[in-house]
A and B are shown apart, each in its own frame.
Chain A
Amino acid sequence: MSALVAAEPAVRPQPVRSETAAPMPRPASNPGLAALGLFLRNPSGLLGLAILTGLLFAALAGPHLYGVDPFEIVGAPFQPPGGDPVLGTDYLGQDILAALLQGGRATLLVGFSAALLTVVIGVTFGALAGFFGGRVDAALMKVTEFFQVLPTLLFAMVLVTLFGQRIVITTIAIGIVSWPPTARLTRAEFLRLRGLDFVKAARAAGAGPFYLIGRVILPNAAPPIVVSATLAIGTAVLFEGALSFLGLGDPNVMSWGLMIGQNRAYALEAWWTVLLPGAAIFLAVLGVSLVGDAVNDAVNPRLRKRS
């Protein structure tokens, strides 16, 4: 009987009879860790990460290091960069560097929170629709379609106008208008995964619907969702910029969008008042996109080699 038990010794060191006896596989090559390793070897992803880290650091630590109130009038308006306030002043004579540092906080905060909101709503709708199918799916997808056909910017403007020009409202408005693509993506992944054998196997092992959704299917559906969430940050930053540009930003909170919006009339005479916050937005979106692409590359060749 012992021969029955001692079979297939690939993961156990065999009695060493040949010089190249099969070594133990590396312990615990977690698929997630493997993806992280791939990400860390991707130069453009690292560049994106460096850009984002730099922007975050500037936004978080900058205002403490450069203690100028962005709303304070520090000198004559339209001073070009290179002078006393090192990046010049805007149409009111406010310090542009101080505004950039302070505004980064708001813009990035809106970007990350709105993206989070997008993912939470989108994944919830998509997961429930894809998992339960049938009438649940039909109902949830009707709602999704409704939100998808609304002109997003216009709808966000309506929400901000109705509920007030506050940064929280802006964030929620952006989240509410941008979740449908995430929901569709999640639903498609759930539809694909829910029929697979390992999901059936989990059901046979006693898993209930919410365990299946959260513990079994979602982790396997995560890679494309993570990629889309990363890219959603960039979209949210752009959105915030657009709303502020249209004069619908929170006037009491400095943000990059607000800077562009307030100075847009003088863009030709004092280019730096618009170009500098624009460059900041550009950098943030570029950073996010580079990271998103690298995450995509890292998680897509899933479990590359089976043998």
Chain B
Amino acid sequence: MAPVLAVEDLTVTLTRPGGPVPVLERLSFSVEAGRTVALVGESGCGKSMTALAIMDLLPEGFARAGGRVLLAGEDIAAAKPARLRALRGSAMSMIFQEPMTALNPVYTVGDQIAEALRLHQRLGRRAALERALAMLRAVQIPAAERRLHAYPHELSGGMRQRVMIAMALACRPKLLIADEPTTALDVTVQAQVFDLLKALQDEMGTAIVLITHDLAAVADIADTVAVLYAGRCIEQGDSRSVMRAPQHPYTRGLMGCTPHLRLGAAADAGVGTLREIPGLVPPLGRRPAICAFADRCGRADATCLDNPQPALTEAGPARAVACWHPEARAA
């Protein structure tokens, strides 16, 4: 089956005085219907730019400098503006981190969900509102009839994110891009929102690109994962397998520096210092030609310092890693 989304060698640059600076370099991944791919990394690694590049909504100054984005086989870059507008919101849609600022405060949530339906599916006002109500029910908002006429500020954070999901999925898009969808939410609400996304995905067969910094979320809902570092994909593969045995030292570092909950008898175990990754992600325009992680990496040696950036190469079944010395052990 052809993937819903195929990103091939996507490169995004930022125009600066003194020449374009690469933001995202030769990123490739794909996601099939009903599956979820997670893009993971720290802020500044390029994960949100990927989302915007897929939607062709790159901010001013940023431009796609190479590669293709294929949505159900159709090249987004070649699409005319009118075609793009038709695709956005119907074939592909997006949910954002902060549901309060992503919703328009002066319209009721019902009107906002109905808007997309009227625009893309040419539904009448009444029919669109009915569908909006059905969507609010689908995202499990209690007292949906009443909430249809509520304004965003009258809803709680979790409720607003549910409204965002209802809006995004109203036209049954093939692709949903979720940019840190639960970061602003409480932990118990987070878990509920992920459950909801999974349930709706099963029902509609939506492909999801999940952008997150939270490895726990990856393990929770992603089928495959791509770890980004300084604009490049440094490890990719089946999410279970990557989480069980990360091969890139950066992926390992990310997993090691999150405190893991120890429950029951294990709670008695002593606490050591957290493993940390020293240093910072190199800022835009200062990325080295060698492996960008080399100066933070405990395993870096002469090979890493003298050779250009290692390419993403196959490393086991459905796995790829960009490292001169990948780890072989399990985490």
Q: Which residues of A contact B (CB under 8 A)?
A: 3-4, 6-10, 14, 17-22, 307
With A18-B288, A20-B287 known as contacts, the answer to whether A9 contacts B280 (CB < 8 A) is: yes
Q: Which residue of A lies closest to B286 (CB)?
A: A20
Main secondary structure of the interface of B (DSSP, over half): loop
Q: Which residues of B contact A (CB under 8 A)?
A: 44, 273, 276, 278-280, 282-284, 286-290, 294-295, 300, 305
14 inter-chain pairs at a CB distance below 8 angstroms, sorted by A residue, are A6-B278, A7-B276, A7-B278, A10-B279, A10-B283, A14-B295, A17-B294, A17-B295, A18-B295, A19-B288, A19-B290, A22-B286, A307-B44, A307-B283
Q: Which residue of B lies closest to A21 (CB)?
A: B295
A272 CB, min distance to chain B CBs, angstroms? 50
Report the separation of the CA atoms of residues A4 and B276 in the bound assembly, to the nearest whole angstrom. 8
Report the separation of the CA atoms of residues A22 and B44 in the bound assembly, to the nearest whole angstrom. 16
With A3-B278, A307-B44 known as contacts, the answer to whether A17 contacts B300 (CB < 8 A) is: yes
Q: Which residue of B lies closest to A11 (CB)?
A: B280
Which residues on the A side are within 8 Å of B284 (C-beta)? 307
Q: Which residue of B lies closest to A9 (CB)?
A: B279
A37 CB, min distance to chain B CBs, angstroms? 15
Which residues on the A side are within 8 Å of B294 (C-beta)? 17-18
Which residues on the B side are within 8 Å of A17 (C-beta)? 294-295, 300, 305
Question: Which listed residue (B44, B288, B305) contacts A20, Cβ 8 A?
Answer: B288
Report the separation of the CA atoms of residues A9 and B281 in the bound assembly, to the nearest whole angstrom. 10
Question: Which listed residue (B44, B276, B278, B305) contacts A18, Cβ 8 A?
Answer: B305
Report the separation of the CA atoms of residues A67 and B44 in the bound assembly, to the nearest whole angstrom. 67
A10-B279, A22-B280 are known; give 18 further A-B pairs, CB within 8 A.
A3-B276, A3-B278, A7-B279, A8-B278, A8-B279, A8-B280, A9-B278, A10-B280, A14-B279, A18-B294, A19-B288, A19-B289, A20-B286, A20-B287, A20-B288, A22-B282, A22-B283, A307-B284
Main secondary structure of the interface of A (DSSP, over half): loop
Q: Which residue of B lies closest to A22 (CB)?
A: B286
Report the separation of the CA atoms of residues A127 and B52 in the bound assembly, to the nearest whole angstrom. 42
Report the separation of the CA atoms of residues A298 and B248 in the bound assembly, to the nearest whole angstrom. 45
Report the separation of the CA atoms of residues A146 and B330 in the bound assembly, to the nearest whole angstrom. 75
Q: Which residue of A lies closest to B300 (CB)?
A: A17
Q: Which residue of B lies closest to A1 (CB)?
A: B273
Which residues on the A side are within 8 Å of B289 (C-beta)? 19-20
| 4 closest Cβ pairs, A-B complex | A18-B288, A17-B295, A20-B288, A10-B280
Report the separation of the CA atoms of residues A17 and B279 in the bound assembly, to the nearest whole angstrom. 13
Report the separation of the CA atoms of residues A62 and B305 in the bound assembly, to the nearest whole angstrom. 70
Q: Which residue of B lies closest to A4 (CB)?
A: B273
Which residues on the B side are within 8 Å of A4 (C-beta)? 273, 276
Report the separation of the CA atoms of residues A307 and B283 in the bound assembly, to the nearest whole angstrom. 8
Which residues on the B side are within 8 Å of A7 (C-beta)? 276, 278-279
B19 CB, min distance to chain A CBs, angstroms? 14
Which residues on the B side are within 8 Å of A10 (C-beta)? 279-280, 283
Report the separation of the CA atoms of residues A294 and B284 in the bound assembly, to the nearest whole angstrom. 30
Report the separation of the CA atoms of residues A17 and B298 in the bound assembly, to the nearest whole angstrom. 13
A179 CB, min distance to chain B CBs, angstroms? 33
B266 CB, min distance to chain A CBs, angstroms? 25
B144 CB, min distance to chain A CBs, angstroms? 34
Report the separation of the CA atoms of residues A9 and B282 in the bound assembly, to the nearest whole angstrom. 10
Q: Which residue of B lies closest to A15 (CB)?
A: B295
A307 CB, min distance to chain B CBs, angstroms? 7
Which residues on the B side are within 8 Å of A3 (C-beta)? 276, 278
A91 CB, min distance to chain B CBs, angstroms? 59
B159 CB, min distance to chain A CBs, angstroms? 24
Q: Which residue of A lies closest to B287 (CB)?
A: A20
Of A14, A18, A21, chain B has the most CB atoms within 10 Å of the CB of A18
Report the separation of the CA atoms of residues A9 and B288 in the bound assembly, to the nearest whole angstrom. 16
Q: Which residue of A lies closest to B281 (CB)?
A: A10
Of A4, A8, A20, chain B has the most CB atoms within 10 Å of the CB of A20
